[in-house]
Structure 1
């Protein structure tokens, strides 16, 4: 098993989501204080990042028909590094909004290209295929941990420069470790149709996940800062969350394998609802730390649960279209979620009310997912 290549691909995942998207939560409190942002504007910045990510993800099938997946991954990583550093060079809301969107598009190229390579590497790993994919998705947690350890001592804008440097270093290491991986351009292939109505409950439950989870990942550090947590405590919280992400692929593999319907999606949505509600219902630090650990252990596995649902219920030639349908509804929720929570938080009750809304959306997603039955 080429461990060097697998670990190098994990660094691509660290750049594309850990550094490019989820590190924003750590820099949001000083940015809000300095720039005078409302919660709505703060959430809109992550909404635009999600818009860019969706645009990039939708463009990738066309790009992968013309370019090597490794080239797309490395170009996305390098672009994300430059764009992250550029966040620290501007102060206008419009410029920062544009950078968040472009960073989302670049991170999609990195993550999707890396995913193609990880799938090919897994195909060569035999019985260890699950470990290869687990390492890749666990790389997101590595990026969260790296940002949590490097950013708290830094203010904005210096934190963005640090993120750009970390992303550039990780991309260089990815390039060095994946030289032997080949993924030539893929010609278009015929795709079988997907019975979307038969997946209605699963799609609805997944849309609720997109709406609910992103509010937590955008605003949890801001919420804890307002509750008086120290910089060191905030760093520890985010490290714990990142470690949970790194462990998550192995925690839920059995659940995803055993069930062919919506049970895994329902269970994981319900657990996320609990984790999201805890910071506003319990003030004890251990309870809040437990919330971060639980959230980290669950949220990326929800993505894997829909992939498993498609693989269990559709023929192989329908998998791309099935996964694309789930990706689209998730992206729609992820786009609306940060601005929705920010809008609610600007009213009476503040962020606590926004977190209650997020938890309610995730609970609704759990109930909807229970209605998803196996197709075959």
Structure 2
């Protein structure tokens, strides 16, 4: 595969990240203020919607190894995209016709399953693509995870002009178009399912205990910001144009992160990247808590966007640096599962704190503290003594 084809394929994979996280998950921050106002939700209920979404993501991650034994990763990758597009469309139906919280909970949960299918299998495909001649592995992974920024920017343009039920339909159309492009661009990656024995070879959770713990704290901490930051800005008096500009800046930061952090991910085999990026996220999360000044707000969005998906990429790089290719699915699934577990607790925790004294500012301060703890834990993660 020549260098140009590698790049085109990596961009097609990046659309999977755009769907699974940018359109299916992080668009919720933009939709939350009007949904909360119209449906009368508490902060806890608003956070619980993302908790259910994260629970579905965990279910999908746990099912992934079994699915990989029966289907090739590309089939799962595309299936998740089709499923997400359908489910996003049903969100709009639930909003405009049924107005049922129970139905919205179910749809958020199923969307999480579809997102895990696309995002985790896409990470595996990106790791494989990085081994092709002419590919730079860390840049391929950075491009893949940076694709989330495309989904965030698209959400920023689709959601604000529309009522929230119609906005869900717009997101569904964007997901449908992206899935079609994914199918065309990833044709060179079709492969047979991996044998069960090969999937589990060489991975031990004990070897990655501190990395997994640091990543759990990341899942707990970052999701509070990505769920409630737009609501906080609205409560601080930010205009609609400011919020859109903030979220576009955040999305552009995600896209740029693939170039910013690729050398770091390539250089270190241990937990150093995970530690540094968690610490930077803690700073980004605190900035809008400490000040509502536009400079602090935009600095927060730019820094958070430029870091958080590269932190996800850092765990894939950690697996790739320290395990043989046969063990990558098990390693990626383990980190995906621990990430999902953190995301289950994080939104409801922040919502529960925010419903008390101190509001959302205190909730996001808790998120920042959790991220700082994750940075400390990750400093203890060492590379395996012998490359495998």
TM-superposed deviation, 1:301: 1.4
Identify if the C-alpha distance between structure 1 residues 112 and 305 changes in structure 2 by more than 3 Å, giving closer, same or farther: closer
Describe the SS at the equivalent of 2:70.
coil
* Alpha carbons 1:152, 1:232 under 8 Å: kept: no
Alignment of 1:368 with 2:377, yes or no, is yes
Query: For residue 64 of structure 1, what is the aligned residue in structure 2?
Result: 68
The 10-residue stretch of structure 1 (14-23 or 194-203) with the greater mean CA deviation from structure 2: 194-203
Alignment of 1:277-292 (within 5 A): 277-292=286-301
Aligned to 1:28: 32
Contact 2:277–2:307, Cα closer than 8 Å, also in 1: yes
Mind listing any 5+ residue stretches in structure 1 that lack a counterpart? none
**In structure 2, how many angstroms separate the alpha carbons of the residues matched to 1:347 and 1:267?**
31
Counterpart in 2 of 1:169? Answer: 177
Q: 2:186 aligns to what? A: 178
| Distance in structure 1 (CA, Å) of the matches to 2:341 and 2:281 | 19
Normalising by structure 2, we get a TM-score of 0.91
Instruction: Give the one of 200, 204, 216 matched to 1:207.
Output: 216
1:219 and 2:228 matched: yes
Give yes or no for contact 2:61–2:333 (8 Å, CA) kept in 1: no
Query: Aligned residue for 1:5?
Result: 9
What is the 5 A alignment of 1:123-202?
Answer: 123-190=131-198, 191-192=200-201, 194-202=203-211
Q: CA deviation at 1:215?
A: 0.2
Alpha-carbon spacing, 1:233–1:99, altered in 2? closer, same or farther (3 Å): same
Residues in 2 aligned to 1:181 and 1:326: alpha-carbon distance in whole angstroms = 23
Query: Please, which moves more after superposition, 181-190 or 41-50?
Result: 181-190
Would the aligned equivalents of 1:17 and 1:143 in 2 still touch at CA under 8 Å? Answer: yes
Gaps of at least 5 residues in structure 2 are none
Structure 1 contact 117–183 (Cα < 8 Å) conserved = no
Distance 1:256-1:127 versus aligned 2 partners, 3 A rule = same
Query: Which deviates more, 128-137 or 154-163?
Result: 128-137
Residues 266-345 of structure 1 mapped to structure 2, 5 A cutoff:
266-345=275-354
Distance in 2, Cα, partners of 1:164 & 1:225: 25
C-alpha spacing 1:366/1:43, structure 2 compared with 1 (3 Å):
same
1:186 to partner: Cα distance: 2.2
Q: 1:316 Cα shift?
A: 4.9
Q: State the alpha-carbon separation in 2 of the partners of residues 272 and 100 from structure 1.
A: 26
1:375, 1:136 → 2: CA distance?
Answer: 25
Query: For residues 52 and 369 of structure 2, what CA distance do their matches in structure 1 show?
Result: 24
Judged with a 3 Å threshold, the aligned counterparts in structure 2 of structure 1 residues 374 and 119 are, in CA distance, closer, same or farther, namely closer
Q: CA deviation at 1:342?
A: 0.5
Where does 1:47-62 land on structure 2 (aligned, <5 Å)?
47-62=51-66
> Comparing 349-358 with 361-370, which one deviates more in the overlay?
361-370
* Equivalent residues of 1:269, 1:365 under 8 A apart: yes
Cα distance, 1:317 vs structure 2: 4.7
Query: Normalization by structure 1: what TM-score?
Result: 0.94
Q: Distance in 1 between matches of 2:183 and 2:51?
A: 30
Q: Which stretch shifts more, 87-96 or 307-316?
A: 307-316
Q: How many residues align?
A: 376
Deviation at 1:93, TM superposition (A): 0.8
